[in-house]
Amino acid sequence: MTTAKDQPQGVLAAALSYAIWGVVVVYWKLLGDVSPWEILSHRVLWSVVVLAPIIVALGRMRHVLAVFATPRRAAALLVSSLLIAGNWGIFIWAVTEGRIIETSLGYYINPLLAILLGVIMLGEKLSPFRIAAFALAGAGVAVQAVALGGLPWISLTLAGSFAIYGYVRKVVQVEALDGLFVETLIVAPFAVLGMWLLMQQGDLAFAHGPALRDALLVGAGAVTALPLWLFAYGARRVRLSTMGFLQYIAPTLSLIIAVTIYHEPFGTVRLVSFSLIWAALALVSLEMFRRPVPRPPEECR
């Protein structure tokens, strides 16, 4: 759904959703003494618990059941559930390992990869602006690769998995909350299995430590659902071009937090690399004034 004019409450909701996705790194960092895979399991399971009553209250359960009754949509959401679970897992692991800057780079690159996917899968045309943007982005990644002695795999994996996820969700056309609920239901058995294995090995952190830590693990569901709801509310009341600008709030906040709070190194090489990526995004953003762009994916960190 598009809108001809930005509604203030929509802009506020969308901006808040991206702001939450940007500062959520602090939340996962507080759980740094917990296995990233246990955090992921809690995020999946408590998301089911949080979303289930919302789905019922909004009368969306029949839509959820309709997804499972349609093999094509169910198969598509199986793929998207594996993609988003993998994306969440790598993101949480990278944050707890002190590699927030690399995650930030990944989500700056993501819109460019989403455009490229549109060219490959949907036959969309590349304008001169976008060709130049890809050249700049490629140079930015190359700078990082030379400095690191290899490709920035965290950034590229996060960007690639999320771009493909966005494409799958665009094709299957399921409402944001319905889709997330189905996705978390699909991966919930794997989350339960993971928790059981951790318990068998004596490595389960939940209920074996401070109450605050347990509360944070339980809160992972709300941390997932709240920004999604704000995004869904805002996306219906904000122009696509405005959403295109707002999406950069999240990686920008993550980058600022990484450098100022957690003191991750941001030297000359990273400055050059990020500057090239920012220039690429500036070109893509300028083009938004000329024509609408695809809405950003409906689920994020």
Instruction: Kindly write down the DSSP assignment for every residue of 102-118, as one continuous string.
Output: HHHHHHHHHHHHHHHHH
Averaged pLDDT for residues 166-173:
83
Among candidate residues 153, 41, 39, the one with its CA nearest the CA of residue 106 = 153
Q: What percent of the chain has pLDDT over 70?
A: 93
Q: What is the pLDDT of residue 289?
A: 64
Least confident of 121-125, 206-210, 253-257: 121-125
The 10s digit of each residue's pLDDT in 212-241 is: 999 999 999 999 989 888 887 887 788 766
The 10s digit of each residue's pLDDT in 63-114 is: 999 999 999 999 999 999 999 999 999 999 999 999 999 999 999 998 888 8
Averaged pLDDT for residues 245-264:
93
Q: What is the pLDDT of residue 259?
A: 95
3 pLDDT more than 70 = no
Averaged pLDDT for residues 54-59:
93
147 pLDDT more than 90 = no
Among candidate residues 19, 21, 43, the one with its CA nearest the CA of residue 31 = 43
Least confident of 16-30, 130-144, 204-218, 282-296: 282-296
pLDDT band with cut points at 50, 70 and 90 for residue 125? confident
144 pLDDT more than 80 = yes
Q: What is the pLDDT of residue 300?
A: 56
Q: What is the pLDDT of residue 301?
A: 62
Q: Are the C-beta atoms of 21 and 224 separated by less than 8 Å?
A: no
25 pLDDT more than 60 = yes
Residues 6 or more apart in contact with residue 100 via CB below 8 angstroms: 25, 94, 254, 255, 257, 258, 262, 264
169 pLDDT more than 90 = no
Among candidate residues 235, 219, 190, the one with its CA nearest the CA of residue 81 = 190
44 pLDDT more than 80 = yes
* The pTM of the whole model exceeds 0.75: yes
Residue 180 C-alpha from the chain's centroid: 12
Q: What is the pLDDT of residue 293?
A: 46
